């Protein structure tokens, strides 16, 4: 709440405001969204993948228009939300990592955790989806358009190919589930984003139990600092995995594996004391 108040004060002082405040009412009116019923049209895999790519590559205004047009066409809001979440996941998987000008305490060159565009976008998209699920029609529509608007406009300078690449997958040499989990664990502790994402990708490709991956990654989500996003992003992926169709859901876990390897090595404040209080030491 304090952050919102401070941001609003900044806008008033600069006599400017976010573009979405101008754009959202225009979208509502031009597509007559409030006069139409909520869409029931379920999207197929091709639509979800294509729309996520369009939102990922679009500018902010164009992405808002894509979302509004989809809702006007009768697309189920849950399907649109899924595409927005997948677009934000792309930002994690295509992230080149921080360069020398972007580093700060706890976020070195090559890192993708903390307030990276992908993690921020994923957490925000998850929040907008949950708001849309419990809101009336007006706010449901607004939340999804705003979600698309804020997910877009961030793909400039990203890697052409997502993690893991074919070269990364060559590192995932184990064939059984336990072996791949061991490789993922070792890669995370070695801060090897490529190997961690490759091991989890291969694990999912072989249709092993996803709960074992979550059980592995939650240990790091609670032990590592993650620049304030470790537990938050874990929760995001946990939720999105459940609501994303089988064809795409493992992308979220692969992204989490990459981020986990990025954040490893900086223990969360209070972690040691919490273990002592819970009598988990030794």
Task: Please give the domain boundaries of the chain with CATH numbers for all domains.
Answer: 20-151 (no CATH), 166-273 (1.20.272)
Tell me the average pLDDT across 163-186.
Answer: 96
Angle at the Cα of 232 (from 272 to 1), degrees rounded to 5? 105
Does the pLDDT of residue 8 top 90, yes or no?
A: no
pTM of the model: 0.94
Residue 17 has pLDDT above 70, yes or no: yes
Decide if pLDDT at 94 tops 80: yes
User: CA 84 from chain center: how many Å?
Assistant: 9
pLDDT at 86: 98
In angstroms and rounded to an integer, the radius of gyration of the C-alpha atoms of the chain is: 20
Stretch 140-146: mean pLDDT: 98
The percent of residues in the chain predicted with pLDDT above 70, rounded, is 94
Task: Give the whole-number percent of the chain exceeding pLDDT 90.
Answer: 87
Give 106-140 pLDDT, tens digit per residue. 999 999 999 999 999 999 999 999 999 999 999 99
pLDDT digit string, tens, across residues 219-235: 999 999 999 899 999 99
pLDDT at residue number 4: 61
Angle at 132 between CA 129 and CA 136, to 5 degrees: 175
Q: How confident is the model at residue 214 (pLDDT cuts 50, 70, 90)?
A: very high
Summarised one tens digit per residue, pLDDT across range 184-208 is 999 999 999 999 999 999 999 999 9
Alpha-carbon distances, residue 102 vs 62, 98, 107, 115 (angstroms)? 27, 6, 8, 11
By CB atoms closer than 10 A (0-12, 13-18, 19+), residue 222 is middle
pLDDT tens digits along 47-88: 999 999 999 999 999 999 999 999 999 999 999 999 999 999
- Cα end-to-end span (Å), the chain: 41
How many C-alpha atoms does 28 have within 13 Å on its Cβ side? Answer: 17
pLDDT at 3: 61
**CA 126 to CA 239: how far, in whole Å?**
8
Angstrom distance (rounded) from CA 195 to CA 192: 6
Question: What value does the mean pLDDT of the chain take?
Answer: 94
């Amino acid at each position: 709440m304090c952050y919102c108040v401070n941001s609003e004060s900044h806008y008033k002082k600069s006599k400017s405001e976010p573009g979405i405040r101008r754009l959202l009412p225009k979208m509502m009116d031009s597509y007559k969204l409030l006069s139409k019923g909520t869409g029931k049209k379920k999207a197929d895999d091709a639509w979800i993948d294509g729309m996520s790519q369009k939102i990922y590559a679009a500018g902010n205004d164009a992405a808002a228009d894509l979302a509004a047009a989809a809702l006007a066409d009768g697309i189920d809001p849950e399907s649109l939300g899924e595409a927005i979440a997948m677009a934000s996941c792309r930002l994690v998987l295509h992230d080149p990592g921080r360069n020398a000008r972007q580093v700060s305490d706890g976020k070195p060159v090559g890192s993708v955790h903390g307030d990276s565009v992908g993690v921020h976008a994923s957490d925000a998209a998850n929040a907008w989806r949950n708001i849309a699920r419990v809101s009336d029609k007006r706010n449901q529509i607004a939340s999804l358009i705003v979600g698309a608007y804020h997910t877009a406009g961030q793909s400039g300078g990203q890697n052409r190919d997502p993690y893991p690449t074919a070269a990364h997958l060559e590192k995932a040499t184990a064939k059984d589930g336990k072996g791949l989990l061991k490789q993922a664990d070792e890669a995370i502790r070695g801060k090897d984003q490529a190997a961690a994402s490759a091991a989890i990708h291969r694990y999912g490709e072989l249709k092993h139990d996803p709960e074992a991956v979550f059980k592995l990654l939650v240990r790091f989500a609670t032990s590592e600092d993650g620049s304030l996003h470790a537990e938050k992003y874990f929760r995001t992926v946990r939720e999105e995995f459940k609501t994303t169709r089988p064809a795409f859901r493992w992308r979220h876990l692969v992204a989490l594996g990459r981020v986990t390897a990025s954040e490893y090595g900086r223990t969360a404040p209070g972690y040691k004391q919490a273990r002592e209080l819970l009598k988990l030491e030794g």
